[in-house]
Every structure is written in C-alpha cells, then in structure tokens.
Amino acid sequence: MKLLKPTWVNHNGKPIFSVDIHPDGTKFATGGQGQDSGKVVIWNMSPVLQEDDEKDENIPKMLCQMDNHLACVNCVRWSNSGMYLASGGDDKLIMVWKRATYIGPSTVFGSSGKLANVEQWRCVSILRNHSGDVMDVAWSPHDAWLASCSVDNTVVIWNAVKFPEILATLRGHSGLVKGLTWDPVGKYIASQADDRSLKVWRTLDWQLETSITKPFDECGGTTHVLRLSWSPDGHYLVSAHAMNNSGPTAQIIEREGWKTNMDFVGHRKAVTVVKFNPKIFKKKQKNGSSAKPSCPYCCCAVGSKDRSLSVWLTCLKRPLVVIHELFDKSIMDISWTLNGLGILVCSMDGSVAFLDFSQDELGDPLSEEEKSRIHQSTYGKSLAIMTEAQLSTAVIENPEMLKYQRRQQQQQLDQKSAATREMGSATSVAGVVNGESLEDIRKNLLKKQVETRTADGRRRITPLCIAQLDTGLKEQNLVKELRPRDLLESSSDSDEKVPLAKASSLSKRKLELEVETVEKKKKGRPRKDSRLMPVSLSVQSPAALTAEKEAMCLSAPALALKLPIPSPQRAFTLQVSSDPSMYIEVENEVTVVGGVKLSRLKCNREGKEWETVLTSRILTAAGSCDVVCVACEKRMLSVFSTCGRRLLSPILLPSPISTLHCTGSYVMALTAAATLSVWDVHRQVVVVKEESLHSILAGSDMTVSQILLTQHGIPVMNLSDGKAYCFNPSLSTWNLVSDKQDSLAQCADFRSSLPSQDAMLCSGPLAIIQGRTSNSGRQAARLFSVPHVVQQETTLAYLENQVAAALTLQSSHEYRHWLLVYARYLVNEGFEYRLREICKDLLGPVHYSTGSQWESTVVGLRKRELLKELLPVIGQNLRFQRLFTECQEQLDILRDK
C-alpha cells in the first residue's frame, strides 16, 4: 500500500466535506467551504496517480472550480455514467452539473487569482425542495433516480431523467438525515439519521421496508455526516456511527432478515463514513498451490471522527490496514477508484489523502460479468443484466442517445437505413465566430458591436454571441452542415499524407492465424507437409518457368525460383492511362549511329509527345502519371519524368526483369529470380529491397497471376491459387490479404451491417485484389444450418481480416469502410469489449500524459474523426449508451481543447 497526501488538493485551507472519483478515473470532485460560498472543484486525477504528471506544469491539476453554491457543499457525487455531477449544500440546493461544450477556458469570475478553468462545467439543474441543508446525495445504480437527504428530516427521490421532477419524498425520520446509499441491485435505498435509526425503503413503492434502531440506541452526540454504504454483492449494509457496549462501531446489517449480528469495531470515536469497494474480490491464485475455489469477498473502508481510517476485507476478522492520525480533523468522505485499488479520503482539516493498494493486498477483482452472475444467482434479476426484452424498458440517460433511438425507430418505419449515416454524430458545435479567435473578437468588439436606438431613444446593444448552447434545434442544422465537410477532409487527407507503411501487429497476428486455418483445409497437402517444408523443397517450381526458360538465367542462383521474362520485341505500345490519355511507344533498334543500334522510347501524354533513345533493347515499359520507366536488356532499368527527363542513372537489376510496374512515383521491379524491389523515385528511397518471393511461392506450383502496386507503394501479388499477399515494408513480411477459398468469407454474413448499396461498391486495392466476391457463397452458407454462434465467429473473424488487410494495404478508404462495417456488426451483435477497445484506440488519451504512444492518425485518417463517424452507429444500440456517452463526452472535451 502506498499513501500520498497531494497538498495541492485543497480549498485554501477550508474544510473539504466530500470527495468523489469520476467513473472513468481521470478526474475527481471535491466539495466544501469556499471563500464565502460553497465550493465544488474538479481535479485532474493523473497528477495524483503519477509523479511525473504532478511535476509537469503543462498538466493541469485543477480542471474546474464552481462557487455557485451559496453555502458550504456537503456532498458531491458523479452519476454512474460520469456525465453528471450532483452537489448538495447548506444552501438547501442540489445542483446538477454537466460538461459544457464551449470554446476556451474561462476564469472563475470574481476570484482574485488567475486560475483558468480547463474544463467547463455548467449547472444544468437546480433542485429545490429541501427546507434545510442537504447532507448527502446518491445516484441510483442506473442513474434513473437521484436521492438527496437533508436536515429537514426527509429523503427526496428525484427523477434524474426529468429534473426537477420529484418521484417521492420519504418521510419517517425524526432527525437530521445524514447519509444515503442505494442497494446495488436497485431494490432498496437506505438512509441514516440523527434520530438513532437507519431506515431501508423499497424502490418499488417508496415505502418503508424496515427501521433499524437497536445498534444506535446508545449513540450520543452528533457527527457531521453519517455516510453508510451497501456492499457491491448486495448482501450487507454497513452503517456509520453505531454503538456496541459503549464502543463506536460500524454496524453490519444483513440483507437477509435485516439481522444485526456483526459490526466493525476498533475506532475510538464515531464512524462518519463507510464506503464499500465497488469490486468484489476473490483470493489471488498462487502458482503451484492447489486451486481451491475461495468464496468471493468484499472490501470496505471506514473513516472516523478519530481521524483514522481502516480498511476491511469481509473474509478477514481483523482490518487489512488501519491508518491513525491520517488527518488533523475528522474524516468526511471516502471514494474508491473504479478498479478498486485506490481510495481518496477527505477531511474536515481541508486535506485529501490517496491510498494505493496492490492486487496482492486486496485480491483478484471479479469481472463485471462475474459480478452480474453473483447478482443474478442471488437476486434473480439484476439491473446490470439487461436482456433484449428488458432493454426496451431501460432508461435512456443521454438526450443524444434518445435522439438516436428515436431516429432509428423513425428509420425503421421508413425503411431508410441509408439515412442513418447522413445524420452523423449530433454533438453540439462550439462556434468560433467566423473563424476568429476569441482574442480577435475582443479586440474589435467595441467597433463591431451593433448599437441601435429604441423607439424611446434608448441605446440598445446587440450582444455578440460567442458560443451557442447545446440545446434546441439549431444544433442539428449545424451538424448537417458540418458533415460533408468532415467527410471531405478525411478523404482528402487519405490521398495526401499517408505515413509510410504503418505496421499493424494486430493484422499480422490475424493473418498468421488465417494462414494456418487455410492450410489446414487445403486438399491433398497434409498439414505436416506444409509445416516441415524446408527451403530446399522449394527448389525449382517448374510451372513458374515458361517458354523463356533459357533466357539469361545464368546469373540467377540454381536453387532459385524463376519467373517468366519478356522476350524482346521489335516494337510495342503500352497504354498507361486513358484519362489523361497517355501511352508509351517503344521501337527497338530503329536507328544505327556509328555501328550502335539505338532503341527509341516515345511517350504521348494528351497530345504532348516526347522521345528519347536508349542503347539497348527495351524489354518492357511501364508508366504512371508521375514517371515512365523502361527495363532494357543487360538488366538495366531507366526512369524518366513525365516530360522525358532522365531521373536516375540506369539501375542495374540483380537479375533480368520479369515484370515492371509504376504507380504514382513508385516503381516496382520483379525479377526473373523472383525478387521484388520497390523504389520511390521522387524521394529517392527504397521501399522494398530485393525481397524474395520464396516465402509465398515456395514449394507449390503456383504462379503470380496478377501484380498490383498500390498508390502507397505497397506491392500485392495475386497468386494462381487465389491467395493474395502484400508486402508490408515496415514489418518486412508478406501478409495474406485475400484468399478466394477462404471459408470465412463464405460463411460470414454481415449484410445487415452493410451501410447501403452504394457503399458496397467500395473501391480500392483490397476490392481489386479480392474481386467482387459474389454474395452467392454467403447465401449458400446460409442455406446450410450454420449455428448462429459459429456464424458470428466467422463473420467477426472475416471482418477483422478485412479491416487488417485494408490497414496493411494502407487503403484508407477501404479501412474506413470495413471498420464501419465491423463496428456496425459489433453493435448489432452486442460485442462490447471489442467495440470498447476500438473506441479507446480511436479516442486516445484525453489528457496529455507522458509516455503516451498513441498515434492520432491511422492510414492518414484522423482517428477521432473516425470515432465521430462510429458514434451514430454505437448510438443505435441502447445497450451501448454508456460507451456512447463516454466517447461523446471525451470527444467534446478534446474538441474544447
């Protein structure tokens, strides 16, 4: 365990009454006393977690400060989705905060300091009902309700979907209510009050389930708060301040019959706060020891007026750790990180402490699924488990989500699935007026602002709107306007600045797997054979040799493959492109100058012609809009510009040319010895250096049926057996990008995830290589009774192959296409983990942090733009509304930066 007291987390010495860590773990909020008002501060978490970040002055510590509360803030709580922050204070108000999507940081108005708010949080609702100080607030497990309790002896349940609607006022306490906790499965809410009672209320009818008084009979005096907590498995409720034999305790109340047989003893003064770790743990399995299935257990932190903190595991009789004298005054609040390994503790003395545990100390946390399973086995239905049927009644947490859902329904009615993409992600757009920065606006504001006179002669100023609010219809229009531009940007990007061959380890792995499976099913060639095949087996692949066997193969090593070489012709013409019309004419040995026969190369481009002469016969020629190149006898290769200027001295090839290709400024030469080279003649660099085709041609009677050079200089070989490999220059590997006999392609069924008809015709190198695989295969596969699970798996595998292949080929257009199809499939089929991983990668780190390896672009596409395109797709499945909200918010944050 590590203990840290970040001194920079303070309210200028004023008490901090509450602390809560944001569900995504990147920030936390504190609430307490401000200068002469209440104060809520949102802090960056990374400086707490990492020392480097703490020292880095570029990393903000304070993200936002809100002093809107008129009096001391007693409680701050993030909603489970992380979208809202609720704060309650002595001003009898509860304020609900939301990230505002504005430009630029603002200062805290009226504060003498120059501290700028890095994030903008705006109060979206003020909830008034309590007639006394609000002591605690709590969001229900699924954010549908917000509960608040007050010194007016009541608990109020607010409709979190429709603030400020009140669903129920729970009356029954006869003293100040100072703590609240929801049952993790959403069946109960418990409150503890100064009236020496703890009451459990049903959420079904908001009536009292039970009132527990016995453990509190001896309680004398008062504590500022009584923050009780429910264990994550739902079995136990632990109270704050209780007494047992005149000793202060935290009473454990069993859900089963509300029995009060156990308590946490040891604190010398009243317990103010109890907080369960959100995770359920199981014993760490040690290597070698017999794996005895141990009972899962919970972990609980207890803070007291005696200024000490104790952490308990429910499987141990004694506390895991007790820290005395952690603060100068009473502990006021505790918050666990979502991973369950850290806690923030705040105190009346105005400081905060952070404790960091290791998994060895606490145990292995159960996954959310295991947790749900426990809930389900114990309580039958859990809110955390949502079946399709239940989803229909799920509460929509985000207005944007609601918009998508509605839109989707509309579209289903209209049978217009294509329209989905058009609408794009409806995030609000922060406007910089006419592209000017705020600074520019300010300079000229006085001159620019419109002043008129009203009828009675008074001056009237039209204020300059510097940011629109994300409400109303305006936003939708804005979004519509923006969409095409976004698309344009991304497509133009893809054409221009593409980083050279960005390797994807993922694709490599996938492809290896694919190769294996493909080989397995290959007829007539047992797997063993292919595995054990040494290089010597690949000697001489006879079919690779054609009629020109004899021609100049002397230089090639005896064991090498041989590819056909073109025979010298008297003359030939080659069409390079039709638009612009460009063709090359070659005439060999046309003129004789001083006994030397010269060959002529002519090039005609849109009527403009140039010609040049070479001293040896031209075997083959190739051209693109940027270069023209010819291979001659004596293994010479010459490269010319489009105007006929020689760009390089002749290149001597290692062996005679077999095939020559040009795309853009890339020249590819495949030699008879089956080595491949690609050069970028403009930048004068080698992309692929004499790479042997052994690995892809070896040991089989295959020939190269088609060769392709992508516009990014990636060579692709289509082989006669239907497989296609591309060479990945950064990894120096041949990657399988297509296989006509791929059983995955035949079983995969993702038609439901295809965007629309026109998008099917996504063109690019991948489409060229794979050809237009007809749907017949897929449909045939559907006729067989393939179990859905198998189909799901094959479809996933196929789509992942496609995404990886597009990535390897650096075909941004196709990458985008397949990524969207893949994401749509994941959304439709409900694969959360993979979807989340994609989103996470596309989003990257929100706050700058040292040591981040994240690249902001992929094959020339901006990852975050891609994520914006994914958002509406994600929004179609209500199951992913958390993911949707998270991504959208973080994108907003990033845009604000």
Partner 1 sequence: MAKVSVLNVAVLENPSPFHSPFRFEISFECSEALADDLEWKIIYVGSAESEEFDQILDSVLVGPVPAGRHMFVFQADAPNPSLIPETDAVGVTVVLITCTYHGQEFIRVGYYVNNEYLNPELRENPPMKPDFSQVGPVSTSCFPQGRSLYLGGVQPFKLRVKVTS
Interface ranges with partner 1 (CB under 8 A): 35-36, 68, 70, 95, 102, 106-107, 109-110, 112, 122-126, 128, 441-442, 445-446, 449, 454, 458-469, 471-472
Q: What residues form DSSP beta bridges with 661?
A: 668
Nearer to partner 1, 157 or 467 (CB): 467
Report in angstroms how near the CB of residue 123 gets to partner 1 at its nearest: 6
Question: Distances in Å between the alpha carbon of 635 and those of 55, 628, 650, 672?
Answer: 61, 17, 9, 10
Report in angstroms how near the CB of residue 307 gets to partner 1 at its nearest: 32
Nearer to partner 1, 107 or 378 (CB): 107
Nearer to partner 1, 244 or 468 (CB): 468
Return d(Cα 388, Cα 394) in angstroms, integer: 10
Report in angstroms how near the CB of residue 441 gets to partner 1 at its nearest: 7
- Rounded-to-10 torsion of CA 4, 335, 216, 219: 40
Nearer to partner 1, 39 or 847 (CB): 39
Nearer to partner 1, 431 or 777 (CB): 431
Return d(Cα 739, Cα 722) in angstroms, integer: 6
Nearer to partner 1, 291 or 461 (CB): 461
Residue 272 near residue 239, CB atoms below 8 Å = no
Listing from the earlier edge strand, what are the strands of the sheet with 571-578?
A: 571-578, 581-593, 596-605, 608-614
Listed in sequence order, the DSSP H helices in 809-880 are 812-829, 832-843, 863-874
Nearer to partner 1, 459 or 485 (CB): 459
Report in angstroms how near the CB of residue 96 gets to partner 1 at its nearest: 9
List Cβ<8 Å contacts ≥24 apart for 690-693.
690/654, 691/727, 691/732, 693/561, 693/563, 693/717
Both structure tokens of 26: 């990147």
Return d(Cα 727, Cα 735) in angstroms, integer: 6
Report in angstroms how near the CB of residue 160 gets to partner 1 at its nearest: 15
Both structure tokens of 765: 């190198």
Nearer to partner 1, 63 or 467 (CB): 467
Nearer to partner 1, 469 or 613 (CB): 469
Report in angstroms how near the CB of residue 118 gets to partner 1 at its nearest: 15
Report in angstroms how near the CB of residue 457 gets to partner 1 at its nearest: 11
Return d(Cα 656, Cα 564) in angstroms, integer: 10
Nearer to partner 1, 34 or 424 (CB): 34
Token pair 């005096």 is at which residue? 221
Both structure tokens of 299: 């972990």
What Rg do the C-alpha atoms of the chain give, in angstroms?
35
Report in angstroms how near the CB of residue 109 gets to partner 1 at its nearest: 5
Report in angstroms how near the CB of residue 61 gets to partner 1 at its nearest: 22
Question: Distances in Å between the alpha carbon of 510 and those of 140, 492, 504?
Answer: 42, 29, 10
Report in angstroms how near the CB of residue 48 gets to partner 1 at its nearest: 29
Please, which residues have CB within 8 angstroms of residue 18's CB and are 6 or more apart in sequence?
29, 30, 31, 32, 73, 74, 75, 76, 77, 332, 333, 346
Return d(Cα 871, Cα 888) in angstroms, integer: 7
Nearer to partner 1, 126 or 754 (CB): 126
Return d(Cα 863, Cα 891) in angstroms, integer: 11
Report in angstroms how near the CB of residue 37 gets to partner 1 at its nearest: 10
Number of C-beta neighbours around residue 879 at 10 A = 16
Nearer to partner 1, 37 or 50 (CB): 37
Return d(Cα 812, Cα 840) in angstroms, integer: 19
What is the end-to-end Cα distance of the chain in Å, rounded? 35
Report in angstroms how near the CB of residue 294 gets to partner 1 at its nearest: 50
Nearer to partner 1, 389 or 461 (CB): 461
Q: Is the peptide bond before 580 cis (omega within 30 degrees of 0)?
A: yes
CA atoms within 13 A on the CB side of 642: 18
Nearer to partner 1, 67 or 869 (CB): 67
Both structure tokens of 839: 């989103």
Nearer to partner 1, 451 or 550 (CB): 451
Residue 875 near residue 69, CB atoms below 8 Å = no
List Cβ<8 Å contacts ≥24 apart for 797-801.
797/510, 797/514, 797/744, 797/748, 798/742, 798/744, 798/745, 798/747, 798/748, 798/750, 799/748, 799/750, 799/825, 800/510, 801/510, 801/511, 801/514, 801/742, 801/744
Residue 451 near residue 461, CB atoms below 8 Å = yes
Question: Distances in Å between the alpha carbon of 7 and those of 47, 322, 346, 437?
Answer: 11, 22, 12, 36
The DSSP bridge pattern shows strands 166-170 and 121-128 to be: unpaired
Report in angstroms how near the CB of residue 8 gets to partner 1 at its nearest: 24
Residue 86 near residue 34, CB atoms below 8 Å = no
The kind and range of the H/E element at 512 are helix 505-521
Report in angstroms how near the CB of residue 132 gets to partner 1 at its nearest: 16
Report in angstroms how near the CB of residue 805 gets to partner 1 at its nearest: 47
Residue 43 near residue 64, CB atoms below 8 Å = no
Report in angstroms how near the CB of residue 98 gets to partner 1 at its nearest: 11
**How buried is residue 2: exposed, middle or buried, by Cβ count under 10 Å (0-12/13-18/19+)?**
exposed
Nearer to partner 1, 561 or 893 (CB): 893
Nearer to partner 1, 39 or 562 (CB): 39
Report in angstroms how near the CB of residue 131 gets to partner 1 at its nearest: 14
- Name the DSSP class of 396: P
Nearer to partner 1, 124 or 262 (CB): 124
Handedness of CA 278, 123, 354, 841 (dihedral sign): positive
Report in angstroms how near the CB of residue 407 gets to partner 1 at its nearest: 23
